[in-house]
Each structure stands twice: as structure tokens, then as C-alpha cells.
Structure 1
Amino acid sequence: MKSWLQACLGLLGVEANTTSHHEKWISALGGGLGIAAVYGLSHWALDGMAAGLMVASMGASAVLLFAVPHGTLSQPWAVIGGHLVSGFIGVSCYLALGNSLLSASVAVGLAVGAMAYLRCIHPPGGATALAAVIGGPALHALGYGYLLTPVALNLVAILAVALLFNNMFHWRRYPVALMKPRQSEPDRPHLALSHEDFAAAMHALDTYVDVSSEELAQLFDRAWEHARAADQHVLKLTRGHYYSNGEVGDQWCVRQVFDLAEEDAGNPRARLIYRAVAGAREEQTGLCRVEEFRRWAKFRVTKQGERWIKAT
């Protein structure tokens, strides 16, 4: 049952959330402040349904700017180019084809293609293109003025809040180019990084990861530090404890020592029973000698929420 549920969650793309409650509330506060500025400008420039559609488009941008500030889809060029290019395409499609199914479909399709070629993919841009087609008489009357009011004004508002708010916190930098690279050590040895090292690094980074090159480098550095800090003493096997083989990907596995007498823990020829609880061959049990299990196991782990981390 557990394996079936995990398989379903994997197909849905549900992953363990590595951000703290503190970070989640910061994202929520930033999104609220950003959309407050956008909402005010939208209702100053437009009334009724047209204003509502514009707010909906920028509301989607607020999710990216404040929940994923380091993501590639959240950077200034993606936000500015994504909205303005898509808005231009949407207005052009309306003027050429009117308010129709064909116009709406072509506008969004062309907007996606244009954003991809111009390297400014920003998902809310699709809503900006669509709004230009189905936004109603008040918005249609603006013509290409739609790009200035409210789109450009709204962009100024939400980007200004993103710049001020995100940079108030030392672990956030917006745009991500402001993030200072970590100083690497010239004599750093090569280390094999494990599943647990990357999990710990993502937790320490404390942000949703829509990875940029800068953030990936920082993630690697944190994982390396976690691997270096691991205990190097002889691994002690204890009944009921969990151990990892330190591999990554399909080879990663966590096993629990299911049955081992305390007096046999130091006897390499004694036998123990183990049970795989995560990763490869999950739910399977096995029998092996203590020395064999110790060669397989790299370190002891504990479960924290949905993550397995090295035991201290």
C-alpha cells in the first residue's frame, strides 16, 4: 500500500517540501504586498472585469517572484519580456482576428513560442496575452496602450516590491545575479556526494528550487560541506536503527537492522536480519553477516519529516 501511494505521488510530481515554515510565511507576505501594489494600479487604470483579468495575470507572477525568487522563470527579463511580448501578441491577435476562439488560441500559442525564442519564458505571460483578447470593451479600447497601462505600470509596481522585499533577507537575492558566489577551497578533494547530502543541502538552502546555475553551485557547495562533516568513526550497528549505502539515484537504499543481538554487534561473523525501508528493493528483507552489512552501510540515518538525513 505504501509503495503504491509513493508511486502515485511520484507520477503526480509530489516531492518533499524542504522549506521552513518561516520561509513559507515570508513568501506569503511578499506576495500579498506585491499584489496590493498591482491591484491598486489596475483599478486606477481600468474598471470592472478588465482590471480583474490584469490582476489575475500579475497574481501568478507574484507566486514566482516571492515563492521562487531565485528561479529562472522569476528573473527580471523573464517577467518584463514575458508580459510585454505576450501582451503585444495578444493585442495584435485581437485587432486581426477579433474576440474569438481562434484569436485566443493563436495569441497564447504565439506568446509561448515568442517567450521561448526570446529566452523570457514566464508562465503568467500567457494570461496577459489571453486577457488582451477576451478582456472586454474597456481593455480592447486601449489598443497597444494596453502595454503601457496597465501592463508596464503593473510590472514597475511588482518588480519594485520584489527588489525591496526579497533583498531584506540575507538568504534571498533578487535578481539572482546579486547572489555572491561562495568562496571555493583550492585544495578541496573530490568527494562522492550521497542522496542524504543533497537532501541536507536543499534543506539548508531553504527555498523552492527552480534551479539557476548560481543556485546549483551553492547547492553543491552546501552538499560538499555536509559530506565533509560526516563522522568517520567505525560504524556501530544497533537493532532498530537505520543505515544508508550512501548511493544516489536508483542505487540509493536505506535499511533497518531488524534483528541483531547486542552481544553479536561486534562479531563480524554473526548474522543479522535487515529490512529495506526506502529506495532500492523497498519492503524486502534479507539475512547477512555483520561484516557484510557494515561494508554495505556508509552511515546511520534518521527520518525527519519526509527526508532521510545523516544521524549526528
Structure 2
Amino acid sequence: MSRSPALGWLASFLPAPVTVKWHERARSCLGALLGIAFTGGLMYLLLGPVANIPLLVAPMGASAVLLFAVPASPLAQPWSIIGGSLVSATVGVTCAMLIGDPTLAAALAVALSISDMFALRCVHPPSGAVALTAVLGGPVIHALGYRFVLEPIAIQSAALLFAALVYHAATGHRYPHAGRQDRATPSQAADEAARVGFTREDVKAVLGRRDALLDIDTDDLYSLLRETQLQAFSRSFNELRCEDVMSRHVVSVSPGTRADFVDRRSFGALGPILNYFDGWLRGDALRTSNVGSVMTVDVCTVAPTDPITELVPMFANFGHHHIPVLDRAGRVVGMITQVDLISGLYRQTATRAREAA
């Protein structure tokens, strides 16, 4: 029995299933609680209980949703919240001063704020509410004039952002969620395309042809596409083992290796500088730490004989870019990256095609 067009249209309003795990939902809620409490408490300490400035403005609640619930969104990044809030506050105050009709002033304030946020690359949806607050906030807000941009908007936006930075760092969550600015050479890009099938530039080109703004970072979309490719390929090649795709020539160090040696290898001339500031921040600039004191020990590993299907959730769910391969004695015998996995699957596909021919 076919469904009527009306029922199909109503069904489109149903929400999609939420795939966020419960512990991540709880982490987001706790972060928002602490962030708003910190922002309001800071305003109270700075202004006192009888201030004529709101201790919290409503748009901060919407910003908290982005900063703590969807921190990977390009709309939730530091420049978005600070730039978007300041621009919209300035536009809103200006419209409130120059236009007598509040409805027209509010409409122009939101429209001009969106235009300016696009131009300055700081689109932040709650900032539209900032512009409305400047116009419709009443006599208390209007009396502040351009002071509204600094107090409360700039202070509250900065306080909420600071709380988000600290909270995400304390809970092991990557924020700011800035994309990796890889500067691949033409030969590296060609090699990536040959092994993976597409490059980041391909993804950027496709996004550039779309009319709508997609709320996802280019690198995140690229990673999702690669992980989807991995999942689809690995489902068809269960006979492949990790030893078939791993890189065998792996540079390794012992826990006692000096960390500044690793820094020099990884960052060139910046290594000694990074090592010095690392020690200085910990109050011990004169002592050189070793690898064992700064390394991460809780990592995912695989055995050479593990099927490659074990790798996909590690890359997808844990954010790993390199998976160590350990033998029975616990020694590193190889390393697998997403590109290694895709390259191995591609070679296997080519082999099957030749055999079929």
C-alpha cells in the first residue's frame, strides 16, 4: 500500500536517529552547565549584584549548545563565536540607533549580521540572537549603546569560550576542531589520489560547487569518506591480515629516549624550542624529559594475523591515524595508517581483477 504524499511530507518532519553515545551526551550537558555557571559567575564578580548589565544574555545558551554539544562544527570554532558575536552586536546597536521602527531594525540587524559574518568567515547562529537582543532588549540594553558590544557580549563570549577550551582539554576532547592544513606537493597529491581514489582537493572542489553551507569541516568529511571506503572494502576482503598491509620499516624509540631528540626528528629546528617551553610550562625548564614521561600508553594495537576488519572501528571510533602492529613478544613489527589500509585493499582489488581476466 503506497503512502499518500501528505503522510510522506509529515514523515519528513520526524527526527533522524541520534548516534551520539550516552557518555558523550552526559559530557556535553556537564560542559554546558559548567560553562554557563562560570560565565554568569564571572560577570557577577566583575560587575556586582546591582549592575545594570545582564549577567547572562540569552544567546550564550545557544552558543553553549554549539561549544559543548557539537564542538566539531565549523560554526562552533573560536573565531566564529568571538567574531560573530562582536560583529552582530555592533550591527544590532547601530540599527537600533538609526532606525526608529523596531521590527524593521530587527530584520535589518539580523540580515546585515549574516552578511558580515559570511564576509568575515565567522558564521555563528546564536549571533543572530545577539543582533536581535541589541534591538529588542529594552531600555536597559539601549542605554548601554556601543558599550553593549563589550559588556556583556565580548566578556561573556570570551568567558564561555575559555570555559569550553579548558573543559574540552580536561576531558580529552579535541577543541578547537581546526582542520589539518596539509600542504601536499603535486607528487604527494598524485600519490594520494592513486592510492585512495580522491584527495582533499577533490572534496574541496565538490563542496565549492554546492550552493548551501554544510556544517562540517572539510577534513572531517574527507575522513568520513575514507572510513566509509575502508568499511566497504574491508567487508569484501576478510581474508586480508594486518601484516599484508602494514608498513614494516618503522622508526621506534625506547621509553628512556630523550624527548628533545624526538622533537628534533619530528619538528626540525622547532624541536629544542618546543622542548624548552614544555619544560617551562611545567616549571622545570632545565630538565629534559624522556619519552616515557610524556608518551600516551593507552593505545589500540593489533597483531600481524588480525583481520583488517579490526582496523576500521579503531580508525573510525577512536580517532587514531596510526595503529601499531605488535608480535607475540610485544615488539613493534609494523605500523598501519588509513592510507596503508586503502593501498593494501587497492592492490588486492587489482590482483583479483588480473586473476579474473
- Partner residue of 2:156 out of 154, 163, 170: 154
Distance 1:6 1:133, change over 3 A: same
Distance 1:190 1:153, change over 3 A: closer
C-alpha deviation, 1:55, in angstroms: 2.7
C-alpha deviation, 1:36, in angstroms: 1.1
C-alpha deviation, 1:91, in angstroms: 0.8
Check conservation: 2:179, 2:220, Cα contact below 8 A.
Answer: no
1:223 match:
228
Q: Give the SS at the match of 1:113.
A: helix
Moved more, 68-77 or 138-147: 138-147
2:124 match:
122
Q: Hey, what's the Cα distance between the residues in 2 that align with 1:169 and 1:178?
A: 20
1:113 match:
115
Check conservation: 1:37, 1:157, Cα contact below 8 A.
Answer: yes
Deviation string, structure 1 residues 120-165 (Cα, Å, up to 9, x no partner): 1111111111111122222222111111111111111111111111
Moved more, 1-10 or 30-39: 1-10
Deviation string, structure 1 residues 171-229 (Cα, Å, up to 9, x no partner): x3111127798xx996985589xxxxxxxxxxxxxxxx931012112222322332343
Q: Hey, what's the Cα distance between the residues in 2 that align with 1:47 and 1:121?
A: 34
1:56 match:
58
C-alpha deviation, 1:39, in angstroms: 2.3
Check conservation: 1:35, 1:62, Cα contact below 8 A.
Answer: yes
Check conservation: 1:97, 1:103, Cα contact below 8 A.
Answer: yes
Q: Give the SS at the match of 2:225.
A: helix
Q: Hey, what's the Cα distance between the residues in 1 that align with 2:232 and 2:43?
A: 50
Distance 1:58 1:226, change over 3 A: same
Structure with higher RCO (Cα < 8 A, 6+ apart): 1
Check conservation: 2:110, 2:132, Cα contact below 8 A.
Answer: yes
- Partner residue of 1:139 out of 138, 141, 144: 141
Report the TM-score when normalising by structure 2. 0.52
Distance 1:104 1:150, change over 3 A: same
2:28 match:
27
Moved more, 73-82 or 6-15: 6-15
C-alpha deviation, 1:51, in angstroms: 2.0
1:214 match:
219
Deviation string, structure 1 residues 90-137 (Cα, Å, up to 9, x no partner): 111111124722222221221122212222111111111111112222
Distance 1:89 1:112, change over 3 A: same
Q: Give the SS at the match of 2:23.
A: helix
Q: Give the SS at the match of 2:215.
A: coil
C-alpha deviation, 1:28, in angstroms: 1.0
Q: Hey, what's the Cα distance between the residues in 1 that align with 2:123 and 2:193?
A: 39
The amino acid of 2:20's aligned partner reads: T
The amino acid of 1:117's aligned partner reads: A
Q: Give the SS at the match of 2:40.
A: helix
1:158-307 pair list within 5 angstroms? 158-170=160-172, 172-177=173-178, 189=195, 210-232=215-237
Structure 1 spans left out of the alignment, 5+ residues: 193-208, 235-312
Q: Give the SS at the match of 2:175.
A: coil
Check conservation: 2:53, 2:152, Cα contact below 8 A.
Answer: no
Greater share of residues in helix: 2
Distance 1:42 1:57, change over 3 A: farther
CA RMSD of aligned residues (A): 3.5
Distance 1:48 1:148, change over 3 A: closer
Q: Hey, what's the Cα distance between the residues in 1 that align with 2:103 and 2:222?
A: 45
Deviation string, structure 1 residues 214-255 (Cα, Å, up to 9, x no partner): 211222232233234325479xxxxxxxxxxxxxxxxxxxxx
C-alpha deviation, 1:2, in angstroms: 9.9
Q: Hey, what's the Cα distance between the residues in 1 that align with 2:225 and 2:80?
A: 25
The amino acid of 2:28's aligned partner reads: S
Q: Hey, what's the Cα distance between the residues in 1 that align with 2:50 and 2:228?
A: 51
The amino acid of 1:15's aligned partner reads: A
Greater share of residues in strand: 1
Q: Hey, what's the Cα distance between the residues in 2 that align with 1:110 and 1:22?
A: 39
C-alpha deviation, 1:57, in angstroms: 0.7
Say whether residues 1:14 and 2:15 are aligned partners.
yes
The amino acid of 2:114's aligned partner reads: V
- Kindly tell me the number of residue pairs found equivalent between the two proteins: 214
Structure 2 spans left out of the alignment, 5+ residues: 183-187, 199-213, 240-357
Q: Give the SS at the match of 1:69.
A: coil
Q: Give the SS at the match of 2:12.
A: helix
Check conservation: 1:83, 1:122, Cα contact below 8 A.
Answer: yes
